[in-house]
A and B are shown apart, each in its own frame.
Chain A
Amino acid sequence: MTRNKFLYLVIPIFNKRKFYMETQYDAIVVGTGVSGGWAAKELCEKGLKTLVLERGRMVKHIEDYPTINDDPWDYKTGDVITNETKKVQGKQSRTGYTTTESRKHFFVNDLEHPYNETKRFDWMRGYHVGGRSLTWGRQSYRLTDFDFEANLKDGIAVDWPIRYKDLAPWYDYVEGYIGVSGQNVGLPQFPDGNYLKPMDLNCVEDHLQDSISKNYKDRLLTIGRTAIITEGTKPGLGRMSCQYRSRCMRGCPFGAYFSSNSSTLPAAEKTGNMTLRPNSTVSEVIYDADKKRATGVRVIDTETQEVYEFNAKVIFLCASSVPSTSILMQSKSEAFPNGMGNASDQLGRNIMDHHLGVGASASTDDFQDKYFFGRRNNGIYIPRFRNIGGDTDRKDYLRGYGYQGGGSRRSWTSKVAEMGYGAQFKEEVLKPGSWSIGLGGFGEVLPYEDNRMTLNHDKLDKWGLPTVTFDASIKENELNMRKDMQQQAVEMLENAGFKNVRGYDGDYALGLGIHEMGTARMGRDPKTSVLNKHSQIHDVPNVFVTDGSGMTSASNVNPSLTYMALSARAANHAVEELKKMNL
């Protein structure tokens, strides 16, 4: 009899597993990209029972990387973006590289996830476990006090509530854990870090490095600092050194580059404290006006449309800037009629990116007998050399830019074309062509209050949630900077004696850098900012937002490393505050 009763109970539990899922946790983390992975790892390792919510599907390390060993000829038309793909991923294809056959499964379907553009805004993202940590560019740079003090000095927007010294130990910690290769160069505007051995420059890059050092006192060229293991190993799922296949965006079977899937999520899972729930879109954070705290989140199961509530003592929004901000905007209550933490009316404003697509390229007939071995998925870097004091200060724009780029030796050049066609032409096509080199600027975008995202409640997605509308663009400061970015790139390449030097200023719209940020900025004053110095919402201190939302200014360097450092720092602060019974 007892046995029968037991069976009777087990069957419905099995069938309705989700219904019986635990609803009370110590912490909830929303999102599994670079920020969510870090928050999950830190919170779980500190002993908090943590529910990690991901709106997209499950992606398991290696197992769910279906294209890792594909060659271009494994696709009918090569590894390119097809017309079929553009039909469903038109906006995701705007970079020209994100949705090729080997990568498209890591970017959203635009028909399922629409957004609106008052002005063009490029919003490329992937909804799955690991988020954009699977497809990121891996360039890992530290912000400096030139960045943290910039708004105060320029009288722009609001002051950052932190300085380099607050974040430096967390940069050390994160770099040491994920593995970043690079070279220390001793520039105050480009802080050194905790690096694995740097990758090689190739012949033309080496030549440009020498030329820049000879011709300029204010700048230098170094190898990119990238979150790729170049020696030894790092914690995670059997992570090992780079094999130089240059297929990073498909997921790495060697775990050589950092992703949540290979590194932080396995660490969180190992503690036994993590419950990971994919296919779970958070629609809002629930607020208790009496306690003046958030009590949990409301979740829509994207497969069943069922709605669940999960409760926790602390909530980390790590869904990336636009979705985290959307969740806060949707979290309306009597206390927060315009969205949680939005007393300042800053939520959704000050959206920034890095403006790029401007620079110069060139070629050379030298080094014909030289080549490279292996495919290095990393480029060169020229750190910022503008507006850092003295002679470097400009009258025509604020802030600065760096260059990324690299030398390459491809085949099929115009020289070959001169041979026309036929047998000799065929032979030439099989040989490497001339070396070429390119420098592309990455410029800082200022925070403008009227560059904003809003929610459109008349146009809902298939889960009944409002869609995002972007109304933002770069302005005079960025346009002036772009002129200098192109001019300096041309000049450096000409000074190095390269041929066919051509400047370009391409078709840039905000978002194309895939660094959207700043929509729930940190600040000192609740009247003018959303988050405090620990990434907590001023008015709801048990809600932390540790992705790009909190950026008070953009700096000119790639931001992911900073999001990781901010996430780790905030998670540790949350744990301390919980211990002190402050949350």
Chain B
Amino acid sequence: MDRRKVLKNIGTGIGAIAVTPTVVSLFQSCQTATGYTPVFIPQEDFGMVSNLMELIIPTTDTPGAIELKLPEFLDAYVDGVWSQEDQARFAEGWTAFKSSAVKASGKESASQLTLEDWDVQLANCLKSESTPSEDDLAAAFADQLRGLTVNAFKTNEYIGENVLAYAPIPGDYKGCVDLQETTGGKAWSL
């Protein structure tokens, strides 16, 4: 992986976060903020997973993953919906993702990794044009994590009712209408 290319790609993640001061406190407090006890993700990893999800869905003019409690949703979802085999693969992928992040950073353990290290690792997995084959598990995990994060985001009450176009009782059906006129370019939430 071309390190320079990765760093160039990081911008969309870290850069956008940096302009929002509240995010700093969110990050600092994320491991203990809610007092949430995860049911699937190991307690000691919950903060790291939360940070990764915040990188995927950062706070912008709308709330990001942590404020929306998407990590809590994801934890309950994998535990409550996924089969044991899929859970095992997810756990295995997480271990591989962590160790490849540690390796890439040149540090000794996952607990020493900074947000920037995680951002590099995510970019490696999700923005690289060709994924190194030994990182398949890690890349597959990153893709799964992204999918789960988007699912949590779109199943979120605040996003569903206030950000996406929400029409619980449309009252009518029109098959072919102008997107901008109808929802201002937003997707329907339901």
Residues of A within 8 A of B (CB): 69, 71-73, 76-78, 80-84, 199-203, 205-206, 242-246, 367-376, 410-412, 417, 419-427, 429-433
Contact = CB atoms under 8 A, between A and B. Distances in A.
Contacts of A371: 177-179, 182-183
Given A431-B185, A431-B187, A78 B151 contact: yes
Contacts of B168: 69, 71, 245
Contacts of A202: 175-176
Contact of A73 (B157, B163, B171, B185): B157
Contact of B173 (A73, A369, A373): A373
B172 A374 contact: yes
Nearest to B180: A369
A432 B164 CA distance: 10
A421 B126 contact: yes
Given A76-B76, A421-B146, A430-B187, A200 B175 contact: yes
B93 to A, nearest CB: 16
B58 A422 contact: yes
A161 B151 CA distance: 53
A376 B167 CA distance: 13
Contacts of B122: 420-421
B80 interface: yes
B12 A425 contact: yes
Given A376-B175, A426-B58, A420 B126 contact: yes
Contacts of B163: 430
Given A374-B173, A429-B57, 5 more contacts: A72-B155, A205-B175, A373-B177, A421-B122, A422-B13
Nearest to A432: B187
Contacts of B109: none
Contact of B81 (A83, A370, A410): A83
Interface string B149-163: 011011111011101
A369 B179 contact: yes
B4 interface: no
A431 B185 CA distance: 6
B157 A71 contact: yes
Contacts, number: 162
B148 to A, nearest CB: 11
B145 to A, nearest CB: 9
Contacts of A200: 173-176
A84 B80 contact: yes
Contacts of A374: 167, 170-174
Contacts of B57: 421, 425-426, 429
A367 B143 CA distance: 28
13 contacts: A71-B157, A73-B157, A83-B82, A201-B176, A206-B175, A369-B179, A369-B180, A370-B179, A371-B177, A372-B175, A373-B172, A427-B60, A431-B186
B153 A429 contact: yes
Closest A-B pairs by Cβ, 9 of them: A200-B175, A423-B16, A374-B173, A422-B12, A374-B170, A202-B175, A73-B157, A420-B127, A421-B56
B55 interface: yes
B171 A244 contact: yes
A423 B16 CA distance: 6
B54 to A, nearest CB: 10
Given A76-B80, A373-B182, A430-B164, A420 B176 contact: no
Nearest to A407: B175
Contact of A78 (B60, B155, B167, B169): B155
A369 B185 CA distance: 8
Contacts of B180: 369
A77 B179 contact: no
A424 B55 CA distance: 11
Nearest to B20: A423
Contacts of A71: 157, 160-161, 168, 190
